[in-house]
Structure formats: structure tokens, C-alpha cells
Amino acid sequence: MHTGQAIILLVLGILYPTWERLLPGDRRFYTSSEFGSYLYDAGNVTYLLNSIVRVGQKLVLSDRGIATLVQEIGEKYEKVKEIITIREISCEVNKIHILGLAYVSDNGRVIKRESYEPIDWDPIIPDSVDAILYHAVCEPAQLF
């Protein structure tokens, strides 16, 4: 495991228990799709250098979301209820990437953690879930 991956796993390990202890007002719903409801951790949005924002995102899976997850990556994931993701958004260039994610069961047990390196930036597609998150966290950043 590379040092970068170890750091991302450490951040995920620290973030997940913190996320669960936050007050309900800190988790803000921002959209839904056939796969579930999307929330972000408004209390822990981090504004970094160069107009980059780091934010925790939670997808609470619908039945269809769980079925799709199982179909795409295997039956090991049939107990997954939530996917918690650490994302960074480059507000200036309208791009996004994932640092890592955790698949969490309905009883709160982490089924699997993943981290990503090297980190590639992806363009944010207009009218997508990522575009809605971009507007939620990047537009307030422009006030500072």
C-alpha cells in the first residue's frame, strides 16, 4: 500500500465515526435519484487552497440502488445500506474526484473501504448529482 492510500484510509477511518456522531442538521439532503438519497456533511466542508473543496457525501441506497450495486459488483454488497464518499471538488475548473469511500451495512458495519491513487480529476456533468453538490459547496465558497 502506498503512503497516499494509507493516509486516505486513515482519513476514512476517522471520518466515518465522526460522521455518525454529527447532529442531523449537519447532514444536508441535496438530491435523490432512483439509486437513493444524497446528503453531504455541511458541518465539515473544508475549503483548501486553489479553490478546492473537500466534502463528505453519503448515499442512502434505495432498493433499486442496492440491487444495482449487487448486480454490478457482487452479492457481498447485498447488505450495504449506505455509501460514504470523500470527494474533492475544484470549484475553479468545475472538476471532481473521489479520494475514497466506505460501503456501510444497515447495522453500521463497514463492509469495505476503498481509496484511490493516482487521483484523476473528472469533469462535472451538467444537471448531474455531482453538479448539484458542486453548487451546494462551491457557491458558498465564493463568498469568502
Domain total of the chain: 1
Cβ pair 81, 67 in contact under 8 A: no
Q: What is the pTM of this model?
A: 0.78
Q: What is the pLDDT along the chain (144 residues), one digit of tens a residue?
A: 554 444 444 444 544 444 444 334 478 999 999 999 999 999 889 999 889 999 999 999 999 999 999 999 999 999 999 999 999 999 999 999 999 999 999 898 999 999 988 678 999 999 999 999 999 999 875 644
Q: What range does the domain containing 20 cover?
A: 3-141
The per-residue pLDDT for 142 is: 61
What is the rounded CA–CA span in Å between residue 76 and residue 70? Answer: 7
Q: What is the CATH number of the domain that holds 58?
A: 2.40.128.710
